[in-house]
Amino acid sequence: MFGLNPAFIPGPTNIPDRLRAAMNVQTLDHRAPDFVSVFAPVLADLKKVFRTESGETFVFPASGTGGWEAAITNTLSPGDKVLVARYGMFSHRWIDMCQRHGLDVQVLECEWGSGAPADRFAEALAADSAQDIRAVLVTHNETATGVVSDVAAVRAAIDSADHPAMLFVDCVSSLGSMDFRMDDWGVDIAIAGSQKGFMLAAGAAILAASPRALEATERAGLKRCYFDFRDMRAANASGGFPYTPPLNLIFGLRESLAMLFEEGLDNVFARHHRLATGVRKAVDAWGLSLVAKSPELQSDSVSAIYVPEGFDSNALTDHAYERYGVSFGIGLGEMNGKAFRIGHLGALSDVMVLSGLATIEMAMKDLRYPIELGAGVAAAQEHFRNSTAAAIQAAA
């Protein structure tokens, strides 16, 4: 009733008051010099989050899906072959987009709960003796299953096959929450969005493109207009925009970057890992299982959790919202009805996560789940107490 309950969905995430205030701006002439003074530093600072020195950054008025479209239309031509693994709803949607654009999509089917199969990528690329595959597409953090993939291993697979394929990575639900190293991992295009780790409203697709990807824009034959890198680069060169920009999001992004740098990116990643571990401790205490098949695949921004046999995860998330006014992620695709998701990314603290765990515990108990009320919260509390004490001692 007061609008104070945080959402525990994996995006859009909770918006701090500081960022809500930053987005509350009056109309500004986006062709005036004072806009340039705001926008140009944003593009430069985004490179620090992507961890790239050679890449260029872009901000398009869109969601992450628009970023996917920008990536493929700026670099590929009709009939080009791309290699993609399907291991969740978002890798599936990227495949669907590629097919609608007339690309030749080679799909590696994987069990949901697994990650990007570097070994199978290596085999497929080695078998491509004509080197027809133009790009390998990877979802770094599969939001539907709570799985994070090893992007560096995929780049190693491409290199081991001595293949010229570009590497495109969806890092929408990982950038700004988990470490991402565009240059070190040899990523050619990375795609993010404003509504996840940047803690803003949805509406900005944020990309970084390598020099090789930018060179490919001159040969690409897919139709593009709104998402044309060339138009955006030409306008950005003088600090401008090729059409009306999302001013409120750009001002918000400037403040979001300031918040991330004030905390320190490594500290941001450590906080997300601590919060995620607390959630995983709670899941163990409930006697439930994560969708992620193994510990190294467990995401630090979202956990997908199987409900016991005979229970409906959609009924659980509906009940939590209707009874307690708190949102949790529903199961998507193959997980529909089988799993719910707890988003633990963005502007969250230990105390806020504990409130979410307590809420979903009450909802499960209401629906007669075989759990002990308070068990998950207690497990997370113990972890947070110990990890906070250890961090304080280390800093002393």
What's the CA gap between 278 and 272, in Å, rounded? 10
Set out the domains of the chain in order of their start, with CATH numbers: 17-261 (3.40.640.10), 264-395 (3.90.1150.10)
Q: For the segment 185-226, what is each residue's pLDDT rounded down to a tens digit?
A: 999 999 999 999 999 999 999 999 999 999 999 999 999 999
* Residue ranges of the chain whose pLDDT lies below 70: 1-4, 389-396
Q: What is the pTM of this model?
A: 0.95
Residue 1: what pLDDT?
46
Q: What is the SS3 assignment for 388? A: helix
Report the length, in residues, of the chain: 396
CB 207, CB 232: distance < 8 Å: no
Residue 141: φ, ψ to 5°: -125, 105
Q: For the segment 315-358, what is each residue's pLDDT rounded down to a tens digit?
A: 999 999 999 999 999 999 999 999 999 999 999 999 999 999 99
Residue 396: what pLDDT?
45
Tokens, residue 110? 């994987």
What's the CA gap between 281 and 379, in Å, rounded? 6
Q: Helical H runs in 51-128? A: 64-73, 89-100, 118-127
DSSP of 278-345, one letter per residue? HHHHHHHHHT-EESSSSGGGB-SSEEEEEPPTT--HHHHHHHHHHHH---BBPP-GGGTTTEEEEE--
Q: Using alpha carbons only, what angle is made at residue 360 by residues 358 and 363, rounded to the nearest 5 degrees?
A: 110
Side chain identity at residue 224, one-letter code: R
**Strands laid side by side in the 189-193 sheet:** 56-61, 204-209, 189-193, 166-170, 133-139, 81-86, 104-109
Residue 34: what pLDDT?
83
What's the CA gap between 130 and 134, in Å, rounded? 11
Instruction: Give CA torsion, residues 310, 313, 316, 317, to 10 deg.
Output: -170
